[in-house]
């Protein structure tokens, strides 16, 4: 399919980086556009090496993929340059000239503003940077000398690629329930995180999208404050093997069992056509490393079937381990 959108279903942490890295390698992506900002990290594992990426698209793992950051994104210049060096993508990454810039003052505001206290922000400064953009006073990528070699018109490039039938992926960040509009307000991020907003930030019209793949994790986690139905104690999460730390901030992730009601809401908001389920091996350890559906135990198959029954979309990809290729691909 020429254009696919990847959207998180819950409060982030669903394993979008893993799914994107698999698609990059398996489907040989031509173009990947990252949206959102530095306050979300996508984790990629390949050959035992871990990357936690705040700026560079997770599809960097495929060396022929063109990497782009959309006009709706907010760029942390130092972090971007650091990740470009780490991933060695200097010659194949571009930033839209109208992407806005996060400055040090925004981080300070994020950490000290009274109205943000208790909301669980990451402290990167994304919210204040968005505020400044709305006031039409933000610095843009085109105003930053260090970014000049990377400036492109992302919308034009992506749409030209779609016209040519190339394989394009729009990489969403965070999760649907962190959406400024559709999430657990006020415990949300400073932007919409749905598939529609991902398209908007990349400059791609909704009629150009062929597939919306929403990513579920086999259990739910949330970083920071805000409601989490069915939340487990830290001790119980550790006992079940569901305790995690955030890839970007290192903060503890709160855990809860999979919630079908929220899964259905995520499918509705995103207009999802397919689903991916990650970390099935954390709930059903017998699944670890499986590459075919027939290898899964009965209980795991029943769980996947229930997701399909309640959401009315197929579970196309199933993650069975941390590595990019630890996937059961049911699309065929």
Measured CA to CA, the distance from residue 26 to residue 15 in angstroms comes to: 17
Catalytic site residue from 27, 30, 42, 329:
42
Is there a catalytic annotation at residue 76? no
Asked if residues 159 and 208 have their Cβ atoms less than 8 Å apart, the reply is: yes
Residue with tokens 């019209």: 205
CB-based burial of residue 53 (10 Å sphere; 0-12 exposed, 13-18 middle, 19+ buried)? buried
Is there a catalytic annotation at residue 30? no
Which residues are marked as active site? 13, 42
């Amino acid at each position: 399919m020429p254009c696919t959108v990847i959207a998180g279903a819950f409060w982030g942490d669903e394993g979008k980086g893993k799914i994107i890295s698999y698609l990059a390698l398996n489907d040989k992506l031509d173009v990947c556009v990252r949206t959102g900002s530095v306050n979300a990290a996508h984790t990629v594992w390949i050959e035992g090496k871990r990357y936690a990426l705040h700026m560079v698209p997770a599809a960097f793992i495929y060396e022929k993929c063109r990497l782009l950051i959309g006009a709706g994104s907010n760029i942390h210049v130092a972090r971007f340059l650091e990740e470009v060096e780490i991933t060695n993508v200097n010659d194949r990454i571009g930033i839209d000239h109208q992407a806005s810039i996060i400055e040090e003052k925004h981080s300070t505001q994020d950490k000290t503003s009274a109205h943000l206290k208790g909301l669980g922000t990451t402290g990167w400064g994304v919210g204040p940077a968005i505020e400044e953009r709305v006031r039409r006073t933000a610095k843009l990528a085109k105003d930053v000398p260090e970014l000049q070699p990377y400036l492109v018109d992302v919308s034009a490039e992506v749409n030209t690629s779609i016209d040519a039938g190339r394989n394009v992926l729009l990489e969403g960040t965070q999760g649907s329930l962190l959406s400024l509009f559709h999430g657990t307000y006020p415990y949300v991020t400073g932007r919409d995180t749905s598939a529609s907003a991902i398209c908007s930030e990349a400059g791609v019209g909704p009629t150009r999208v062929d597939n919306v793949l929403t990513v579920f994790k086999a259990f739910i986690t949330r970083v920071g404050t805000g409601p989490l139905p069915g939340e487990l104690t830290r001790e119980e999460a550790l006992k079940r093997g569901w305790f995690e730390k955030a890839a970007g901030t290192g903060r503890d992730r709160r855990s809860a069992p999979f919630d079908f009601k929220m899964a259905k809401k995520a499918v509705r908001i995103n207009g999802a056509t397919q689903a991916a389920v990650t970390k099935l091996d954390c709930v059903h350890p017998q699944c670890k490393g499986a590459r075919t559906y027939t290898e899964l135990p009965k209980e795991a198959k029943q769980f996947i079937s229930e997701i399909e029954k309640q959401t009315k979309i197929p579970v196309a990809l199933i993650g069975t381990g941390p590595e990019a290729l630890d996937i059961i691909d049911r699309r065929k």
